[in-house]
Structure 1
């Protein structure tokens, strides 16, 4: 991968690379902002909206009720930010392992978030207030599509983290490589657990912890690739 080394004897080339670097950095900054936004907005609702039990409801259910629009917007906005981050990753992962599939899979994760916001999860397990315990007896089409789009997006994240781990290993960055592997594997187990439909505290809290880890991973990766030596001048 070519590095951003510019000769001062060529101002036009320097300006071009500077603009490219700034654009790339702004795109990757979206990956740093997405997680904190999602988690702050999500947890603020989780601990203030009546009837929501963080130990037995995942954050997606917050898209229901009179204030459901907040979580819908949260999913869509963070999805857009993640999609912009994927575009930034496409700019820096040029040549070598993961240059195609890494950004595409993170982009798929982003589309899954947007889809999960568009197709609202069904009310369940006591939320909103008055909803019977457990899962809905008559799932709706939008509830089914929420599960499908979310599942596709999470699968994209899991495989994307593993693909990008190979890029880190190839670059000799073993800590980030193993961090990516562990994040992808733990998220896989957590997703399988929540996909069973269980509302046990261990399963739901484990999934929530995996979501937090996933956002931390995206932020760490975005910070790492924002470093100047990671940016290629090729367009």
Structure 2
């Protein structure tokens, strides 16, 4: 048995493990629905719309489970960053993002743009649809901030590859969020999907790094 792998280290690694798998789980479940549900168009519809219809419970569950795993990863991040720059703010910002993902599951996005089948292209915004957008916006901004906070931390630690990956992720996600928030579709929707994929890849990479260096 590794004498350095104490119960505290094992707990930290277990929590960070949720950060490793949260992104892949969310993406696989969302893409599987996007590619198989009637009427869903990846170039037009946001993944949040998958929470509607008879199978909407799948995406709602996906949001809630992913958010819970992100919260666990935030706790692991706090435990792994023993001291130094970003120890307080990075876990807090990621925890708020995790809460926003859970909120996105509880506050369902409104049917729109013809999905599910039979939905008009233009619909009114309900209270839960408005809350979905609001909690998502807060979470996205916190995640973007976390990218730059950890970029500063990694740069100070000499982890220049992770620092640049963090900065690029923050910029890409900010641009993707700004595009989707503008209400435009087509290339903008696909760009946001690419930004989401980049962000979850970043979360996985950071969690793997901290898992390996936890002590």
Q: Distance in 2 between matches of 1:190 and 1:221?
A: 21
> Unpaired segments of 5 or more residues in structure 2?
none
> Unpaired segments of 5 or more residues in structure 1?
1-7, 9-13
Q: Report the alpha carbon displacement of residue 89 of structure 1 after superposing the two structures with TM.
A: 0.1
Q: Report the alpha carbon displacement of residue 26 of structure 1 after superposing the two structures with TM.
A: 0.5
**Residue in 2 aligned with 1:44?**
32
Q: Distance in 2 between matches of 1:197 and 1:144?
A: 14
- How many residues align? The count is 214
1:64 aligned to 46, 49, 52, which one? 52
| Alignment partner of 1:198 is 2:174 | no
| Alignment partner of 1:144 is 2:133 | no
CA contact (8 A) 2:67 2:100 kept: yes
Structure number with larger C-alpha Rg:
1
CA contact (8 A) 2:9 2:214 kept: no
**Residue in 2 aligned with 1:186?**
172
**Residue in 1 aligned with 2:144?**
158
**TM-score if structure 2 supplies the norm length?**
0.97
SS in 1 for 2:108: coil
Q: Which 4+ residue blocks in structure 1 deviate beyond 3 angstroms? A: none
SS in 1 for 2:6: helix
CA deviation string 1:88-146 (max 9, x = no partner): 0000112111000000001111011000000000000110001112x42x210000000
**TM-score if structure 1 supplies the norm length?**
0.89
- Cα RMSD after superposing both structures: 1.3
